[in-house]
């Protein structure tokens, strides 16, 4: 019997318009993209081409103007706010470009926040936060404040917070832009190790060519559209050299 492999993410005919009248911006102009289960998909393209808008829409943070996105078969935009928050809280991890950490809280509390919002009891949330922090190599800093950390360490806390609930889909917005080369490589290796495998997927927005080699496929975006999807990072780099 043939089993239909479900996609991790499917977006069809996605458009997004910000503002109205003379201040109108067409951020997405008809996006069709599929992210397979088990893969690392990178989204690359010039600043302003719609990368952040696309991942925010597929993660249910923004509503599209037209079209739809399914995440493991669920259309987030059809859910009520409450259902959507709950779905995101258990299935999606989002690493924001600005780490969005809370300076007055400890590392452990920062990482535990998504669980507390889901109603997980405090002690259990903190235990899981410690486990996630250990995975990113910060198990010895759980009680420190995030303000005492380097950029690379803050990025790792943001990743711990995105993986603490064991999400099926992890979405990261330029996760290495503030990091030196070695730290950046470690961060992506770490993301790969926690985010790939059966029933999972990892989407990384980046223009850091040093991490392209971690991609299974690369989607090249420009002007609110996916221009082309490359089946390997070598294909993408070859096309870049020729252009
Ligand atoms: N909240 C917003 N309000 C108005 N315009 C926006 C908003 N967010 C993004 N844009 C515009 O949409 C376009 C795409 O932005 P974005 O998705 O952030 O691009 P990228 O992440 O590729 O740099 C840009 O022209 C940007 O100025
Ligand atoms: Mg962006």
Looking at residue 109, its pLDDT comes to: 97
Helix (H) or strand (E) holding 169: strand 169-173
Query: Residue 220 Cα, ligand 2 centroid: separation in angstroms?
Result: 14
Q: Is residue 3 scored above 70 in pLDDT? A: no
Q: What is the mean pLDDT of the chain?
A: 92
| pTM score above 0.75 | yes
The CATH number of the domain covering residues in 9-242: 3.40.50.300
Average the pLDDT over 150-179 and give the result: 91
Looking at residue 182, its pLDDT comes to: 87
Both tokens of 169, joined, read 């889909």
pLDDT confidence band for 186 (50 / 70 / 90): confident
Q: What are the residue boundaries of the structural domains of the chain, listed by start?
A: 9-242
pLDDT confidence band for 4 (50 / 70 / 90): very low
Q: Half-sphere exposure of 130 toward its Cβ, with a 13 Å CA cutoff?
A: 7
Sheet containing strand 74-75, edge to edge, reads 25-35, 9-18, 66-71, 74-75
Q: Is residue 203 scored above 70 in pLDDT? A: yes
Looking at residue 23, its pLDDT comes to: 93
Sheet containing strand 40-44, edge to edge, reads 92-95, 169-173, 201-205, 40-44, 217-222, 225-230
Which CA distances in Å does 54 have to 8, 16, 71, 166, 182?
15, 9, 13, 22, 28
Atom of ligand 1 nearest to the CA of 205: 21
Looking at residue 5, its pLDDT comes to: 63
Average the pLDDT over 127-153 and give the result: 93
**Residue of 14, 16, 23, 48 to mutate, ligand 1, most atoms within 8 A of C-beta:** 48
Looking at residue 112, its pLDDT comes to: 96
Query: Residue 63 Cα, ligand 1 centroid: separation in angstroms?
Result: 14
The angle at the Cα of 191, spanning 187 to 197, to the nearest 5 degrees, equals 155
Q: Is residue 2 scored above 50 in pLDDT? A: no
Torsion on CA atoms 65, 68, 69, 70, rounded to nearest 10: 150
Q: Is residue 150 scored above 60 in pLDDT? A: yes
Ligand lying closest to the C-alpha of residue 47: 1
Average the pLDDT over 142-159 and give the result: 92
Q: Is residue 234 scored above 50 in pLDDT? A: yes
Per-residue pLDDT of 37-72, as tens digits, reads 999 999 999 999 999 999 999 999 999 999 999 999
Are 37 and 200 spatial neighbours (Cβ–Cβ below 8 Å)? yes
Both tokens of 171, joined, read 């979405």
Q: Is residue 91 scored above 90 in pLDDT? A: yes
Ligand 1 proximal residues by C-beta, below 6 Å: 18-19, 25, 27, 45, 47-53
Exposure class string for 167-197: b at 16+ Cβ within 10 A, else e: bbbbbbbbbbebbeeebbbbbbebbbebbbe
């Amino acid at each position: 019997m043939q089993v239909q492999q479900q996609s991790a993410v499917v977006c069809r005919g996605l458009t997004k318009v910000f503002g109205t009248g003379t201040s109108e911006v067409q951020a997405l102009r008809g996006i069709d993209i599929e992210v397979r289960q088990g893969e690392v998909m990178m989204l690359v393209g010039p600043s302003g081409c719609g990368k952040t808008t696309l991942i925010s829409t597929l993660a249910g943070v923004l509503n599209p103007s037209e079209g739809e996105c399914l995440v493991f078969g669920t259309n987030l935009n059809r859910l009520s706010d409450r259902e959507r928050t709950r779905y995101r809280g258990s299935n999606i991890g989002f690493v924001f470009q600005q780490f969005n950490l809370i300076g007055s809280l400890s590392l452990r509390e920062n990482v535990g926040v998504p669980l507390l919002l889901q109603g997980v009891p405090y002690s259990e949330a903190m235990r899981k936060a410690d486990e996630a922090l250990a995975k990113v190599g910060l198990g010895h800093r759980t009680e420190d404040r995030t303000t005492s950390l380097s950029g690379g360490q803050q990025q790792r806390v943001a990743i711990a917070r995105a993986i603490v609930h064991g999400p099926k889909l992890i979405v990261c917005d330029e996760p290495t832009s503030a990091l030196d080369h070695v730290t950046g490589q470690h961060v992506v290796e770490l993301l790969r190790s926690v985010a790939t495998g059966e029933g999972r997927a990892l989407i990384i927005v980046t223009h850091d060519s040093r991490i392209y080699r971690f991609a299974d496929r690369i989607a090249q975006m420009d002007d609110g559209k996916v221009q082309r999807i490359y089946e390997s990072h070598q294909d993408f780099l070859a096309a870049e050299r020729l252009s």
